[in-house]
Amino acid sequence: MSTLLDKIKRHEAQVAVIGIGYVGLPLATEMAKAGFRTVGYDKSDEKVRAVNAGRSYIKDIADADLAPLVKEGRLRASSDPSVLGAADVVVICVPTPLNKTKEPDNGFIIAAAEDLKPRLHKDQLVVLESTTFPGFTREVLLPKLQESGLKVGQDFYLCFSPERVDPGNPKYHTKNTPKVVGGTTPKCLAAIQAMYGEVIERLVPVSSTDAAEMVKLLENTFRAVNIGLVNEVAIMAQKLGLDSWEIIEAAASKPFGFMPFYPGPGLGGHCIPVDPLYLSWKLKTLKYEARFIELADDINTHMPHFVVEKVATALNGDKKAVNGSRVLVLGVAYKRDIDDVRESPALDVIELLQDRGAEVSYHDPWAASVRIGEHTLKSKPLDGLDGYDAVVIVTDHSNVDYARVVREARLVIDTRNATRKVRGEARGRVIGL
């Protein structure tokens, strides 16, 4: 242990990050910036080539950050698993999606563990950052790694530390976001505190890897349940003839005991719609039904249908059917000012409109094309707005001229309150969520 701690102290420890995506690349960059020779291990040759050419594919990491580290030899990428054996510290940052039946798919972590196991060596620190259910590190990853014959807390150290990357957040990034850390044994915890303490401004140690796993799931379940609540408020407000955004903005004036969330067309991204279901799945194995999580998931996944019903009703107001209408969806990314369309509710809205016979186009300055079923749609220029029977704002990117949209479009359905400041200039009806 002392050699590992000495190496960390002297910044001579070598780091390998398995999975250099939106979590792994920023972490690898911070480790290299702190002076640790770091290698990003990834099966994607494209990612490996880009990093070694000093080119970032992650919006929050500029080439200007990456290239000098690569040039100085402090950061590189490789698809050769032997780099794992040379590392003193290995951090696993691979995806943890749901499978088709909405159950946890930890296949990428298991594959990473299989790559690591034959290369695991004495005094190595292994950290899992991928979001998973409480108990996974202890029940699944630990036995897998101990098949190597090495003993945790004695020969190697195994920890869990949840990632807290908020893509596109201008203020918080890897270094200045407090980091929760949990160890399998006290020595494991000491090892991760030594290592992460050299890179991240504030650590939040907890009593176990299970606790650290649960912290992450609470954070994201908190968001999913509160978004589900305000989406139901939007549904209730419609029945009450109220404007949900007005109600929430006014409630947000309460300086204590309230935190605003806003209704929208549904829940996108690969975290908030997914992580809470890891928790409810685990509790099901313990014969408990996590009702808030399931209810929030029901409401959030219903929102695209709610939006399409709204479009249908609005078109009816112009004596038009959805069938045969030309509809422009404005914004397809899962949230504003990013290019990621994974799990985006816009994809559901487009598909549901197409199923009802609408001729659907989209415009998104961040996303040039999207796959809808077997077809690929390309972003249309924001022209000829009066040629559409309806324009549906699904993602409220900042770089769209909403004044122009309401001036030119005949009918606008605004699911993000993006037109709140320009409705006075509207040519036709602007309908909120």
Q: Which residues are catalytic?
A: 271
Where do contacts with ligand SAJ occur on this chain (CB under 6 A)? Answer: 163-167, 219-220, 223, 227, 261-262, 264, 267-269, 271-272, 334-335
Closer CB to ligand SAJ, residue 132 or residue 220?
Answer: 220
Q: Nearest approach, Cβ of 344 to ligand SAJ (angstroms)?
A: 7
Closer CB to ligand SAJ, residue 21 or residue 183?
Answer: 21
Q: Nearest approach, Cβ of 266 to ligand SAJ (angstroms)?
A: 7
What's the per-residue H, E or C state across the chain?
Answer: CHHHHHHHHCCCCCEEEECCCCCHHHHHHHHHHCCCCEEEECCCHHHHHHHHCCCCCCCCCCHHHHHHHHHCCCEEEECCCHHHHHCCEEEECCCCCECCCCCECCHHHHHHHHHHHHHCCCCEEEEECCCCCCCHHHHHHHHHHHCCCCCECCCEEEEECCCCCCCCCCCCCCCCCCEEEEECCHHHHHHHHHHHHCCCCCEEECCCHHHHHHHHHHHHHHHHHHHHHHHHHHHHHHHHCCCHHHHHHHHCCCCCCCCCCCCCCCCCCCCCCCHHHHHHHHHHHCCCCCHHHHHHHHHHHHHHHHHHHHHHHHHHHCCCCCCCCEEEEECCCCCCCCCCCCCCHHHHHHHHHHHCCCEEEEECCCCCEEEECCEEEECCCCCCHHHCCEEEECCCCCCCCHHHHHHHCCEEEECCCCCCCCHHHCCCEEECC
Closer CB to ligand SAJ, residue 114 or residue 166?
Answer: 166
